[in-house]
Amino acid sequence: MSTEWRNWSRATRCQPDRITRPRDSAEVAAVLASAGGQTVRAVGAGHSFNRLACTDGILLDMSACAGVEKIDRDAGLVTVRGGTSLTALNSAL
């Protein structure tokens, strides 16, 4: 049985076959390898107002794969993981 997923406003919803919460890139790769032809869509905090993350396949919830990986002050670049919220990013910076 699938679980309903809703965005932050609850205006957009879908019922993916499976919701996964990978913690790192190796777990993301494992989900992709096991997808078996199903559509895989990634979602972060769910702030999108459209159906971009919705799928009846596999929903890749990136919330557990969060954090700042690298700050290059000289280049003015920051590398963050896909599930990093803007609140967490602002705090880290």
- List, for residues 31-57, the tens digit of each pLDDT value: 999 999 999 999 887 666 677 788 899
Percentages of the chain per state (helix, strand, coil), in multiples of 5: 20, 25, 55
pLDDT above 90 for 1: no
* 48 CB-contact burial (10 Å; exposed 0-12 / middle 13-18 / buried 19+): middle
Question: Please, which pLDDT band fits residue 4 given cuts at 50, 70 and 90?
Answer: confident
Question: Please, which pLDDT band fits residue 85 given cuts at 50, 70 and 90?
Answer: confident
Q: Which residues contact 12 (CB under 8 A, 6 or more apart)?
A: 6, 48, 49, 50, 51, 53, 54
